[in-house]
């Protein structure tokens, strides 16, 4: 039985046999056709035996393996490679069927290629996960046929593997690379002029042409008989917390990803940028209860701790409790910090219900509330209504858009910074806000 699981007949064989049946039928009326049909049938049988011998003579005639990354990046295109080597003494035609995790809903993955004698071939394809968690790959199925092309032999390479999907570390590395190469502008990050001097003194050194004359230290100059200047560096070790709302309003999807996953990806990138700026990065998650609380630190392992916490975030689709969030912040944060709150308010009334807690938080910390535009409304607003029903729909869409903008004004009126952003631009807008607040010396 195991042998027959490896043997498959190709469509070419059925086409040839169908032609032979037609020739045999004609042979009843034309004797020469009957003789031709018998010769053709004999040739087909000989070809079948020859191809069977060629394909099944040895067990290890090809080798294949799938190369997977240690983890996949959520919301990004992840590269997967399949390597195939031909040990047959003739060129082969292969059909590759990879058992991709069910989460991708890819049910028609098939790739065909011709591999020369002692040659190899690389198949490169990409997958974009939209949910965090463990993804299980199945076996790697290779169907091999000879140049005759009547039968195929199936090889199964046991490449079963489970790969975790983490928050977007590809996006994190992208912005980190742009920062290192001083090309943040290419990623949409604005270059901001710093206001005033840094407040953190580092040392006194000799004056160098181009130094700001206002930093001259006259006492040190008198003692050394040379111009000496105070050297300042950017203020460091500021606390930056990403606060992620895991309530039901954050489950709205956009391009396959939920708003929660967009917030998680942006939090990872912002935490990495903050650590590169030598600030302390921390994390708080909440819904109807307080979830994870990671104290702001700038140690080497901090980013790994943040990544692991973000990977395990789940939601119960409950209403978020901002009163518990305020109590947790008051209990755990004893020093002024930058708090970037990722949430989503559906209406002005929903914001008003939480406004007392937001104002209390903003008394002791620099609070930035980040919420999302519904980009589907843009399509409705750009359309031309054809009937009364569409007029009502467009009017309601305009009301929703107006309320979102009204929320920004309400927050800014009480001294709370606000970011209203499309999900696709979330990371860029959050980093820009962080850099703006740093340049204005607000943290």
| 341: in domain | yes
Q: Residue 198 domain-assigned?
A: no
pLDDT > 70 in the chain, percent: 84
Q: Could you tell me the CATH number of the domain that includes residue 189?
A: 3.40.50.410
Given a cut of 60, is residue 157 above it in pLDDT? yes
Looking at the fold, whether 33 and 82 belong to one and the same domain comes out as no
Counted domains in the chain: 4
Q: By residue range, what is the domain housing residue 128?
A: 62-166
User: Which of 40, 56, 72 corresponds to the end of one domain?
Assistant: 56
* Domain shared by 213 and 255, yes or no: no
Same domain? For 224 and 373 the reply is no
46 in a domain, yes or no? Answer: yes
The answer, yes or no, to whether residue 303 has pLDDT greater than 80, is yes
Residues 417 and 311 in one domain: yes
Q: What is the pLDDT of residue 1?
A: 45
Q: Are residues 45 and 140 in the same domain?
A: no
Decide which of 145 and 44 is more confident: 145
Lowest mean pLDDT, pick from 314-323, 355-364, 414-423: 314-323
Residues 234-287: pLDDT tens digits? 556 789 999 999 998 898 888 888 999 999 999 999 999 999 888 999 999 999
Is residue 259 located within the same domain as residue 399? Answer: yes
Amino acid 189: pLDDT: 56
- Would you place residue 69 in the very low, low, confident or very high pLDDT band (cuts 50, 70, 90)? very high
% the chain with pLDDT above 90: 45
Same domain for 309 and 404, yes or no, is yes
Residue 293 domain-assigned?
Answer: yes
CB-side neighbour CA atoms (13 Å) of 44: 19
Query: What's the mean pLDDT when you consider all of the chain?
Result: 84
Q: Which of 290-299, 313-322, 384-393 has the highest mean pLDDT?
A: 290-299
Strand partners, 78: 127
169 has a pLDDT exceeding 50: yes
Q: Quick one: 43 and 139 in the same domain?
A: no
pLDDT tens column, 195-208: 444 455 567 778 77
Whether residue 107 has pLDDT greater than 90: no
84 and 217, same domain (yes or no): no
pLDDT at position 58: 77
* pLDDT computed for residue 341 by the predictor: 97
Q: Mean pLDDT, to the nearest integer, of 334-351? A: 92
pTM of this prediction exceeds 0.85: no
Query: 188 and 137 in one domain?
Result: no
Contact at 8 Å (CB) between 145 and 90? no
2 part of a folded domain: no
Q: Clarify whether residues 223 and 244 are in a common domain.
A: no
Q: Are 381 and 443 in contact (CB under 8 A)?
A: no
Q: Are residues 36 and 159 in the same domain?
A: no
417 vs 150, which has greater pLDDT?
417
Looking at residue 177, its pLDDT comes to 63
What average pLDDT does this structure show over 343-359? 92
């Amino acid at each position: 039985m195991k042998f027959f699981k490896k043997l498959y007949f190709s469509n070419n064989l059925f086409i040839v046999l169908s032609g032979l049946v037609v020739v045999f039928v004609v042979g009843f009326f034309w004797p020469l056709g009957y003789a031709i049909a018998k010769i053709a049938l004999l040739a087909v049988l000989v070809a079948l035996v020859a191809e069977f011998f060629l394909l099944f003579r040895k067990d290890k005639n090809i080798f294949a393996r799938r190369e997977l990354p240690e983890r996949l990046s959520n919301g990004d295109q992840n590269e997967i490679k399949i390597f195939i080597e031909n040990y047959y003494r003739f060129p082969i035609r292969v059909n590759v069927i990879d058992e991709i995790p069910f989460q991708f809903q890819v049910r028609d993955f098939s790739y065909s290629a011709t591999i020369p004698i002692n040659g190899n071939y690389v198949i490169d394809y990409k997958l974009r996960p939209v949910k965090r968690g463990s993804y299980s790959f199945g076996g790697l199925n290779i169907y091999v046929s000879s140049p005759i092309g009547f039968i195929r032999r199936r090889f199964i390479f046991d490449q079963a593997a489970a790969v975790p999907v983490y928050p977007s570390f590809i996006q994190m590395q992208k912005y980190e690379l742009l920062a290192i190469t001083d090309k943040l502008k290419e990623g949409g990050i604005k270059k901001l002029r710093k206001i005033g001097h840094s407040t953190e003194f580092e040392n006194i050194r000799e004056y160098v042409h181009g130094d700001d004359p206002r930093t001259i230290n006259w006492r040190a100059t008198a003692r050394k008989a040379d111009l000496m200047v105070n050297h300042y560096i950017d203020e460091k070790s500021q606390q930056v917390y990403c606060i992620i709302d895991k309530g039901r309003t954050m489950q709205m999807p956009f391009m396959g990803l939920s708003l929660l996953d967009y917030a998680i990806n942006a939090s990872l990138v912002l935490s990495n940028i903050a650590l590169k700026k030598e600030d302390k990065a921390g994390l708080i998650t909440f819904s109807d209860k307080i979830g994870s609380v990671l104290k702001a630190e700038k140690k080497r392992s901090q980013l790994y701790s943040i990544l692991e916490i973000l990977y395990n975030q789940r939601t119960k689709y409950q209403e978020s409790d901002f009163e518990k969030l305020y109590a947790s912040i008051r209990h755990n944060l004893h020093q002024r910090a930058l708090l970037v709150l990722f949430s989503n308010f559906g209406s002005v009334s929903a914001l008003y219900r939480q406004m007392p807690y937001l104002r209390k938080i903003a008394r002791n910390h620099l609070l930035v509330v980040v919420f999302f535009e519904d980009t589907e409304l843009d399509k409705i607003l750009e359309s031309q209504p054809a009937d009364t029903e569409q007029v009502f729909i467009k009017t309601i869409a305009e009301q929703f858009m107006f309320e979102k903008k009204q929320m920004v004004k309400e927050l800014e009126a009480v001294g709370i910074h606000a970011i209203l952003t499309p999900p696709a631009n979330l990371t860029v807008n959050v980093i820009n806000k962080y850099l703006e607040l740093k340049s204005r010396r607000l943290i």
